[in-house]
């Protein structure tokens, strides 16, 4: 049996990170179904912080305004249409009704949920993605993050206390700095067993190919 430890460097307001996570999930399923012996292998996914905009405002602003300011109003509609088409293929309904801003609290929440047992960090992160991208959520809202934590099985009072403090803050800031120092300038980025890397929201087969390579490497090391 092979244990896959996957570190996903990402930012919660990055649509390609949401797409990449969906493709990763499909790739894990495909690997388990099609690779000989893959059904017994295990996957652990954790999140590493990255700031697409280190200077994002503490209070949320409409994503349409932020994108128009960054890319120009003329480019917004074509970009929106492209992302919505890509999202549809992965079962994502990008509404572009969300409020964007600082993701530091969202990253800090990952550090709490990681301590709550297998799958909790992933479950809460999935809810955050859904609330933000598909339901018009405000990524800077601690109320939204607490509600997401509760849906993922975390005590809401504990989640709120965590967010009201600065718990995990130094860690996520350090992770974001380290990612840039290591040459990661775009997300998502996936590291598999500390050895194999995938940059971007690649297709399912690319992930499966890297999983097979990682499995072969692990088996070679174990003799």
Report residue 192: phi and psi, to 5°. -110, 115
Which two structure tokens, joined as six digits, stand for 186? Answer: 């775009």
Q: Which residues of 57-82 are buried (b: 16+ CB within 10 A; e: fewer)?
A: eeebeebbebbbeeeeeeebeeebee
pTM here is 0.96
Rounded to whole angstroms, the Cα distance separating 49 from 104 reads: 8
The whole-number pLDDT of residue 114 equals 97
Rounded to whole angstroms, the Cα distance separating 113 from 161 reads: 13
Specify the 3-state DSSP secondary structure of 8.
strand
| Domain boundaries, position 42 | 3-222
Rounded to whole angstroms, the Cα distance separating 47 from 111 reads: 9
- DSSP element (H, E) containing 64: helix 63-71
Q: Is the dihedral of CA 52, 56, 59, 63 positive or negative?
A: negative
- DSSP element (H, E) containing 6: strand 3-10
Q: How many domains does the chain have?
A: 1
Cis preceding linkage at 188, omega within 30? yes
pLDDT tens digits for the chain (223 residues)?
999 999 999 999 999 999 999 999 999 999 999 999 999 999 999 999 999 999 999 999 999 999 998 889 889 999 999 999 999 999 999 999 999 999 999 999 999 999 999 999 999 999 999 999 999 999 999 999 999 999 999 999 999 999 999 999 999 999 999 999 999 999 999 999 999 999 999 999 999 999 999 999 999 988 6
Between strands 42-49 and 196-199, the pairing is unpaired
Which two structure tokens, joined as six digits, stand for 88? Answer: 């549809």
| Domain CATH code at residue 104 | 3.40.30.10
Which two structure tokens, joined as six digits, stand for 129? Answer: 């993605």
The whole-number pLDDT of residue 13 equals 98
Specify the 3-state DSSP secondary structure of 196.
strand
The whole-number pLDDT of residue 73 equals 86
Taking the chain, what is the end-to-end CA distance rounded to the nearest angstrom? Answer: 13
């Amino acid at each position: 049996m092979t244990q896959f430890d996957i570190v996903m460097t990402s930012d919660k307001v990055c649509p390609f990170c949401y797409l990449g996570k969906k493709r990763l999930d499909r790739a894990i399923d495909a690997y388990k179904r099609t690779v000989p012996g893959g059904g017994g292998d295990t996957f652990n996914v954790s999140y590493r912080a990255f700031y697409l905009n280190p200077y994002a405002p503490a209070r949320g602003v409409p994503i349409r305004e932020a994108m128009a300011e960054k890319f120009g109003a003329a480019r917004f509609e074509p970009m929106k249409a492209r992302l919505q088409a890509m999202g549809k293929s992965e079962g994502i309904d990008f509404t572009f009704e969300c409020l964007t801003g600082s993701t530091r609290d969202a990253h800090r929440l990952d550090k709490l949920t990681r301590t709550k047992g297998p799958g909790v960090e992933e479950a809460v992160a999935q809810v955050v993605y859904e609330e933000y991208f598909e339901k018009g959520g405000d990524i800077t809202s601690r109320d939204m993050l607490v509600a997401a934590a509760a849906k993922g099985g975390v005590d809401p009072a504990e989640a709120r206390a965590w967010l009201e403090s600065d718990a995990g803050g130094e860690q996520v800031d350090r992770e974001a700095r380290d990612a840039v120092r290591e040459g990661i300038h775009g997300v998502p980025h996936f590291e598999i067993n500390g050895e194999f890397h995938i940059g971007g929201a690649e297709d399912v087969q690319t992930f499966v190919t890297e999983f097979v390579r990682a499995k072969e490497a692990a088996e070679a090391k174990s003799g």
